[in-house]
């Protein structure tokens, strides 16, 4: 009976709204592709510039397809700066910081969202408050401290600096809040302690939040420029973003190389995005919890 | 999820292990000097000089701290504030120098100079301009000044004589208008004023009556009127487009889109090497910087790059020895050989530069100067004032305010800073 | 006995809570909180970054009142935030709704919209300035030739248009990230809700306003807080795109604080500016949290 009704429903639906559907789909596609073009256009410009001679990058009128393709630009970026080493450093920093960030902030967020302790609100306000302070303001005191610890010009300095940012705690806390307390209470009655609850219930449920925190932290560290600028001085610890700046000299700038290097450095992050996409989009649908 | 975590954990631990490789310590003998500078890839004379110094002093090891030019000042400031003990600091511009002096981050060089009886006369008076309360904190090694570059073909085509070594600003404007030709993609602009404030304002300092720090900026009006007029008539490219487009003068000059280019001597070396590499086949010449009426030809403005000793350095004596070499006559020859203008500019040095392959020999006279003024004078508030000048310059050049309004706002704001 | 057990249980609970907090808190306190407190305390001091720190009292705050650049940058900060926050929310929500539809190539399109978020700012600033170049850029060329606008905007080179330009680029760059947060939120809405509504005869529009929007409030809450905070402390984008110009047209609070600290070496004054920023942001955030109960529904 139920099945029959459903089938009929679908048939009716198809007949009455197929035209409307087609129209709707076309509209969506039109809007999305127009939008995509705007999104992509600057990258096409970068791509085109990366194949040009330096002197032609800003030449007017602009040509989208260069007269001759300077493939050599993509070779030059590896030779003019130690791009491979810089990439390795960047990957290393991004992975370690992201990992620590995920671990510690989801841990702390659980306490903020689901456990009661004295000073919780005040502490949380401290966390939120520091998000509101621009880094440029306290980077000098921070640098002086790091120097006293003898950590400047090491990767450890940046790792310590960026692995415990309050943003991660905030993001995870907001997500945990939407997980019903009844679920945890039931688990407590079943005899699970808080650590078990965290590992067995919260972590598996928070895949989407973890995925989006991963993306956020990874992209931040990947593209961070001021941090590495302030803390890293020798070439063996420098990152891609610092390398990009080496193409801008006092009286000249190699924008074709900057574009080439920027495009190359985009690839790993995009791969990460594609790999994680299913987590923050599909992971939650089954749990019925949202962030 | 579990698989991913395992992979992640592995990755992290591998990376941690890799990063824990031991640092190689020094062997204990000899001194290690840390030299802070920018654009090491660009300054071809630095490796040559280091090599030479190694022959001279094999016991001294020089470690280079290379910082991107665009962020040099911020980085050095934070380093020094944090108590960094790098030995030799390269001073990029006057505001930076002034700030480091007031913050007592540099050591006076006078003691060393007196002890070694080091001869400063070769620097033709430049160190005097660097004195603060009669104390010298830095020694220049490179001193660039402003000249006029031109594209010979553009002048030949227009049937106009090449710019001369004795030319007033109004003569300059007149020939700029004459050599402007074409339209659209083929347009050749008569001249080019890059977006820097100095490309306009330098012309107002040459007579020596005013500097960039003043209580009344109305003296700048004539030059601003000239430049904005040229911009309106399409003799020079539109400031707004240049600024927004990040458009660099070099590309325009290589592509023969501009006939003249008032620019610093730093461009000589780049230009020579780009012609050699085949990036451009522009036939170029140089002339002295144009000057106002009644001012001697060869009067121009310049910028310095100098070396100074960090007050926190632990090897000050060794640092001074290195500075003496780098900024001295030997260093000067190497710089000139690399196409850069050293601070010591005797005939020898000029000959080294002008005899280089690709230098337009008939133009050597353009490098003779009568007076070189500093782009910015020494003043404790110079960086704050420079910021104001830059902002108002931008407003005038983008046509957001009239010349008079911009200059009076400049006057008002600078006076506020000076009176504080 | 019983009482003792209770307190020790409570004590235990607290210990557990602290143990969750500790790994993050130690790092946070040492490397962020302490420098922050130190930096904020500097607002009562004179410091040039090298010489001795001296006590200044309220001097720095008195100076704020007569500082024209501070007033301009404060207004600019509000202007930028007022433009960016609502527009980013609308754009990213709209995108998420569109990309939640079952269409072909959805993943690829999502990646495309996410692209800008990943790109390096140096390159982005150069490219956008070129595309929006007043005389040579393709956008103005189209405006002139296709739409016959004689005097198209001069974008980042004009006092009036510089801020809108920065806002547009900012939305372009960040939209993709907030879209992701909304997408995640949309997945969490149980389908039964829509089915039930359809049975009750609700239209698409009604579904959107009665179900989608309310169910998305936690996401909107998070997005609006994060956006507000990041807008008030905007620095990088403006620094590389306009440098605060032309003149002071896009000079925002953090740019001003940065210039004061690193060009004028007045760290005390710079901290005072940041303290004002901090208080403003904190007030807004607290208000947002207070209002949370009124409009945010955690189902």
| Tens of pLDDT, residues B208-266 | 899 999 999 999 999 999 999 999 999 999 999 898 888 889 889 998 999 999 999 98
CATH number, domain with residue C249:
1.10.3720.10
> What ranges do the domains of chain A cover?
2-50, 72-282
Task: Express each pLDDT in A11-34 by its tens digit.
Answer: 555 555 677 778 888 888 888 888
Write down the pLDDT at residue B306: 93
Task: Express each pLDDT in C160-187 by its tens digit.
Answer: 999 999 999 999 999 998 998 888 888 7
Q: How far apart are CA B370 and CA B354, in angstroms?
A: 18
The stretch C258-283 carries a mean pLDDT of: 90
CA distances from B325 to B76, B321, B335, C24, C282 (A): 23, 6, 12, 52, 56
Round the average pLDDT of chain C to a whole number and report it: 87
Q: How far apart are CA C16 and CA B149, in angstroms?
A: 74
User: How many independent structural domains does chain C possess?
Assistant: 1
Task: Express each pLDDT in A175-232 by its tens digit.
Answer: 888 788 888 888 889 888 888 998 888 888 888 888 888 988 999 999 998 899 889 9
What CATH number labels A72-282? 1.10.3720.10
> Which residues does A106 contact at the CB level (< 8 Å), separation at least 6?
A168, A172, A202, A203, A206, A209, A210, A213
Whether residue A200 contacts residue A183, with contact meaning beta carbons closer than 8 Å, is answered with no
The stretch B267-276 carries a mean pLDDT of: 89
pLDDT band at C86 (very low <50, low <70, confident <90, very high): very high
Residue A287 has pLDDT above 70, yes or no: no
The stretch B28-43 carries a mean pLDDT of: 81
The gap between the terminal CA atoms of chain C, to the nearest Å, is: 40
Residue A8 has pLDDT above 60, yes or no: no
pLDDT band at C299 (very low <50, low <70, confident <90, very high): low
Tokens read off for C167: 């806002």
Q: What is the DSSP string of A18-79?
A: HHHHHHHHHHHHHHHHHHHHHHHHHHHHHHHHHTS-GGGTT-SS--SS-SS--THHHHHHHH
Tokens read off for A103: 């671990």
Write down the pLDDT at residue B274: 87
* DSSP secondary structure code for residue B253 in this structure: H
Task: Express each pLDDT in C211-250 by its tens digit.
Answer: 888 888 888 988 998 899 999 989 989 988 998 889 999 9
Quote the distance between the C-alpha of residue A215 and its chain's center. Answer: 3
Tokens read off for B12: 């992290």
Task: Express each pLDDT in B152-163 by its tens digit.
Answer: 999 999 999 999
Residue B184 has pLDDT above 60, yes or no: yes
Closest listed residue to residue A224, CA positions, set A213, A233, A216:
A216
Identify the helix (H) or strand (E) that includes residue B50: helix B45-56
> Which residues does C256 contact at the CB level (< 8 Å), separation at least 6?
C69, C70, C73, C244, C273
Q: How far apart are CA B377 and CA A278, in angstroms?
A: 61
Write down the pLDDT at residue B86: 92
Write down the pLDDT at residue A283: 44
A55 touches chain C (CB under 8 A): no
Whether residue B58 contacts residue B288, with contact meaning beta carbons closer than 8 Å, is answered with no
Write down the pLDDT at residue B29: 61
For CA atoms B38, B41, B43, B49, the dihedral sign is positive
Round the average pLDDT of chain A to a whole number and report it: 83
pLDDT band at A4 (very low <50, low <70, confident <90, very high): very low
C54 in a structural domain: no
Q: How far off is chain C from A177, nearest CA to CA, in Å?
A: 8
Q: How far off is chain A from C260, nearest CA to CA, in Å?
A: 11
Q: How far apart are CA B215 and CA B89, in angstroms?
A: 33
Q: How far apart are CA A162 and CA A93, in angstroms?
A: 10
Q: How far off is chain B from C248, nearest CA to CA, in Å?
A: 7
Residue B6 has pLDDT above 90, yes or no: no
Nearest CB to C31; choose among A132, A164, A244: A164
Farthest-apart Cα atoms in chain B, separation? 82
High-pLDDT (> 70) share of chain C, % = 96
Write down the pLDDT at residue B17: 52
Question: A206-210, A240-244, C65-69: which range is least confident on average?
Answer: A206-210
Task: Express each pLDDT in A142-169 by its tens digit.
Answer: 988 888 888 888 999 999 999 998 889 9
Can you list the domains of chain B with their CATH numbers? 31-144+303-370 (3.40.190.10), 146-300+375-419 (3.40.190.10)
Enumerate neighbours of A (3 or more CB pairs within 8 A).
B, C
Residue A140 has pLDDT above 90, yes or no: no
Closest listed residue to residue C230, CA positions, set C290, C285, C164, C293:
C285
Write down the pLDDT at residue B350: 83
Whether residue B187 contacts residue B181, with contact meaning beta carbons closer than 8 Å, is answered with yes
Tokens read off for C207: 């579904």
Judging contacts by C-beta atoms under 8 Å, the chain A residues touching residue B42 are 249-250, 252
Nearest CB to A288; choose among C34, C190, C267: C190
Tokens read off for B223: 């030059």
The stretch A104-113 carries a mean pLDDT of: 92
Judging contacts by C-beta atoms under 8 Å, the chain A residues touching residue C42 are 141
> Which residues does B287 contact at the CB level (< 8 Å), separation at least 6?
B147, B148, B150, B162, B163, B164, B165, B167, B363, B366
Residue C270: domain span: 68-295
Phi then psi for residue B258, to 5 deg, are -130, 145
b/e map B135-151, b = 16+ CB within 10 Å: ebbbbbbbbbbbbbbbb
Q: Do A235 and B65 touch (CB under 8 A)?
A: no
Task: Express each pLDDT in B310-353 by its tens digit.
Answer: 999 999 999 999 999 999 988 898 888 888 889 988 888 888 88
- The complex's ipTM works out to 0.86
Mutation for C interface: B83, B94, B96, B244, most C CBs within 10 A: B244
Whether residue B213 contacts residue B382, with contact meaning beta carbons closer than 8 Å, is answered with yes
C203 in a structural domain: yes
């Amino acid at each position: 009976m139920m099945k029959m009704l459903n089938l009929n429903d679908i048939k009716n639906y198809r007949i009455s709204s197929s035209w409307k559907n087609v129209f709707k789909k076309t509209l969506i596609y039109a809007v999305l592709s127009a939008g995509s073009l705007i999104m992509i256009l600057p990258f096409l410009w970068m791509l085109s510039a990366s194949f040009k001679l330096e002197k032609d990058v800003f030449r007017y009128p602009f040509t989208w397809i260069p007269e001759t393709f300077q493939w050599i630009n993509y070779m030059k970026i590896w030779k003019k700066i130690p791009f491979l080493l810089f990439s390795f450093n960047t990957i290393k920093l991004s992975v370690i910081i992201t990992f620590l960030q995920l671990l510690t902030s989801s841990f702390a967020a659980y306490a903020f969202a689901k456990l009661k302790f004295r000073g919780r609100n005040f502490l949380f306000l401290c966390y939120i408050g520091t998000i509101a302070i621009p880094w440029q303001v306290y980077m000098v005191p921070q640098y002086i401290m790091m120097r006293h610890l003898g950590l400047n010009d090491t990767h450890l300095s940046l790792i310590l600096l960026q692995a415990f940012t309050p943003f991660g705690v905030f993001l995870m806390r907001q997500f945990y809040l939407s997980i019903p307390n009844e679920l945890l209470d039931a688990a407590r009655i079943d005899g699970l302690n808080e650590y078990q609850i965290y590992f067995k219930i919260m972590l598996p449920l928070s895949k989407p939040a973890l995925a989006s925190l991963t993306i956020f932290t990874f992209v931040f560290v990947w593209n961070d420029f001021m941090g590495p600028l302030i803390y890293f001085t020798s070439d063996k610890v420098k990152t891609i973003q610092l390398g990009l700046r080496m193409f801008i000299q006092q009286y000249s700038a190699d924008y074709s190389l900057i574009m080439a290097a920027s495009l190359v450095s985009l690839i790993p992050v995009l791969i990460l995005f594609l790999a994680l996409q299913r987590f923050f989009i599909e992971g939650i649908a089954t749990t019925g919890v949202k962030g | 999820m579990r698989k991913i975590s395992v992979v992640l954990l592995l990755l992290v631990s591998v990376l941690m292990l890799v990063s824990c490789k031991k640092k190689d310590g020094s062997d204990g003998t000899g001194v290690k000097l840390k030299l802070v500078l920018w654009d090491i890839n660009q300054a071809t004379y630095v490796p040559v000089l280091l090599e030479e110094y190694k022959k001279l002093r094999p016991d001294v090891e020089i470690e280079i701290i290379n910082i991107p030019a665009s962020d040099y000042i911020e980085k050095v400031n934070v380093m020094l504030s944090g108590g960094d003990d790098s030995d030799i600091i390269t001073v990029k511009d006057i505001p930076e120098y002034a700030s480091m002096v007031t913050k007592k981050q540099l050591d006076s060089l006078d003691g060393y100079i007196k002890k070694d009886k080091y001869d400063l006369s070769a620097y033709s008076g430049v160190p005097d301009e660097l004195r603060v309360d009669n104390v010298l904190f830095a020694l220049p090694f490179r001193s660039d000044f402003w000249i006029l570059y031109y594209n010979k073909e553009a002048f030949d085509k227009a049937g106009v004589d090449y710019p001369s070594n004795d030319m007033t600003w109004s003569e300059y404007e007149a020939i700029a208008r004459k050599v402007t030709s074409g339209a659209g993609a083929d347009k050749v602009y008569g001249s080019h004023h890059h977006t820097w404030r100095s490309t306009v304002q330098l012309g107002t300092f040459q007579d020596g009556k005013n500097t960039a720090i003043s209580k009344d900026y109305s003296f700048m009006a004539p030059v601003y009127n000239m430049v904005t007029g040229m911009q309106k008539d399409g003799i020079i490219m539109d400031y707004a487009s240049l600024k927004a487009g990040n458009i660099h003068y070099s590309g325009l000059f290589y592509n023969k889109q501009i006939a003249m280019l008032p620019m610093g001597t730093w461009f000589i070396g780049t230009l020579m090497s780009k012609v050699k590499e085949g990036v451009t086949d522009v036939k170029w010449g140089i002339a002295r910087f144009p000057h106002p009426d009644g001012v001697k030809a060869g009067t121009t403005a310049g910028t310095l790059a100098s070396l100074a000793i960090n007050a926190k350095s632990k090897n000050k004596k060794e640092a001074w020895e290195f500075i003496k070499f780098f900024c001295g006559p030997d260093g000067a020859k190497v710089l000139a050989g690399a196409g850069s203008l050293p601070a010591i500019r005797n005939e020898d040095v000029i000959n080294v530069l002008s005899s280089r392959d690709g230098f337009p020999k008939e133009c050597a006279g353009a490098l003779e100067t009568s007076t070189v003024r500093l782009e910015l004078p020494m003043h404790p508030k110079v960086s704050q004032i420079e910021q104001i000048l830059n902002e108002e310059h931008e407003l005038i050049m983008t046509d957001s305010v009239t010349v008079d309004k911009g200059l009076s706002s400049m006057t008002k704001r600078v006076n506020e800073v000076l009176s504080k | 006995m019983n009482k003792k057990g209770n307190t020790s249980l409570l004590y235990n609970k607290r210990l557990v809570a602290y143990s969750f907090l500790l790994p993050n808190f130690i790092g946070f306190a040492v490397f962020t909180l302490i420098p922050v407190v130190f930096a904020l305390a500097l607002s009562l001091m004179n410091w040039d970054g090298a010489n001795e720190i001296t006590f200044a009292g309220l001097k720095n705050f008195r100076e704020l009142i007569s500082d024209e650049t501070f007033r301009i940058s404060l207004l600019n900060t509000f202007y930028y935030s007022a433009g960016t926050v609502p527009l980013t929310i609308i754009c990213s929500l709209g995108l998420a709704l569109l990309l939640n539809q079952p269409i072909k190539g959805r993943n690829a399109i999502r990646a495309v919209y996410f692209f800008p978020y990943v790109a390096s700012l140096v390159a982005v600033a150069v490219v956008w300035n070129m595309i929006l170049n007043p005389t040579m850029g393709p956008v103005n060329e189209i405006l002139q030739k296709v739409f016959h606008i004689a005097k198209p905007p001069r974008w980042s080179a004009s006092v009036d248009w510089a801020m809108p330009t920065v806002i547009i680029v900012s939305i372009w760059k960040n939209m993709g990230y907030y879209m992701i947060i909304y997408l995640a939120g949309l997945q969490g809405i149980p389908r039964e809700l829509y089915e039930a509504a359809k049975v009750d005869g609700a239209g698409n529009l009604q579904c959107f306003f009665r179900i989608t929007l309310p169910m998305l409030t936690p996401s909107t809450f998070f997005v609006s807080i994060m956006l507000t905070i990041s807008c008030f402390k905007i620095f990088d984008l403006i620094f590389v795109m306009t440098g605060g110009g032309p003149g002071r047209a896009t000079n925002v609070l953090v740019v001003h604080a940065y210039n004061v600290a690193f060009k004028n070496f007045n760290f005390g004054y710079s901290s005072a500016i940041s303290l004002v920023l901090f208080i403003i942001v904190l007030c807004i955030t607290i208000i947002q949290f207070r209002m949370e109960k009124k409009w945010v529904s955690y189902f």
